[in-house]
Homo-oligomer: A and B are copies of this chain.
Amino acid sequence: MLTNSRAAYHDHNHQRCIDAALDRARDLCSQQGARLTPLREAVLHLIWTSHRPLGAYAIADLLPAATGRKALAPTVYRSIEFLLDQGLIHRVASLNAYIGCPFPGSRHSELIMICRACGTAAELSADSVDSALSDVTRRAGFFMETQNIELLGLCPGCRGEGGPS
């Protein structure tokens, strides 16, 4: 089981998350011959500002303060497309928003747990889920290629405060 839930859901030194993500991104891009330009890196940095998915127009609003240059929708979406292609971020379809991938480069299933109270999202990849999915879909005659799993619920912190026991 591979997950960043520990960091996402508890107090932690988030600067280390950011630094690690940017380091991984630079490594991966140079390996792939992909160009992590200042703009793209700024967008990735913004997405990693927190563990909450960030929308494209929110990124556009935040970019000027981060880079000094203003950015309109197409510019932001081009960067997002690049980051998606490189596997550095994921799109959260149910929120129309984007979240940094904590383990890019490694093949992993895409399962996102979203807290409905605080909005924090953590990613999780587990063989047990993957094999259960492969198994039942194959029995249904379906050849699964990609998966998009978005779970809504309560994170450990928000569960304590007035949520279920």
Contact yes or no, A113 B126, CB < 8 A: no
Please give, as numbers and ranges, the residues of chain B lying within 8 Å of A126 by CB-CB distance.
132, 136
A93-120 CB mask vs B (1 if < 8 Å, else 0) is 1100000000000000000010110000
Q: A9 to B151, alpha carbons, bound, how many Å?
A: 27
A149 in contact with B152 given A124-B140, A132-B132 (CB within 8 Å): no
Chain A: residues with Cβ within 8 Å of the partner, total of 41
Report if A64 contacts B (CB, 8 A). Answer: no
A124 in contact with B136 given A141-B9, A141-B156 (CB within 8 Å): yes
Query: A128: nearest residue on chain B (CB-CB)?
Result: B132
Contact yes or no, A151 B148, CB < 8 A: yes
Please give, as numbers and ranges, the residues of chain B lying within 8 Å of A61 by CB-CB distance.
none
Residues of A within 8 A of B (CB): 1, 3, 5, 9, 93-94, 113, 115-116, 122, 124, 126, 128-129, 131-133, 135-137, 139-156, 159, 163-164
